[in-house]
Amino acid sequence: NSKLRHVEKDVLIPQIMRDRAKELCSDKVQAFTKCCQETGFLMVVKCRQENAALKDCLVGYYTDPSFYEECKAEYLKQREEYRATGIKKKRQKLPSN
């Protein structure tokens, strides 16, 4: 049964998309984080280039229909496993800095 509820379409699948996009854009996330840590209060002005690169990368994934379908398939697989076993598996995340 691949019919999706409202919360699955609007919350759970986008959460998977955000997590995966952050992993795929990890080099830009690290560059932006490093810039912010080095500049302190002036990060709004000094890190514009890194912020723009990060936004472009993330928005590129968020607006890609094939990426949405990949994440939807991943969610459906997780949901199927949960319904079969009753055990929820957490996605492994990359360690954050």
pLDDT along the chain (97 residues), means of 10: 86 95 95 92 90 96 96 93 82 54
- What whole-number distance in Å separates Cα of residue 47 and Cα of residue 28? 12
**Contact predicate 95/55, CB 8 Å:** no
**Residue 94 has what pLDDT?**
52
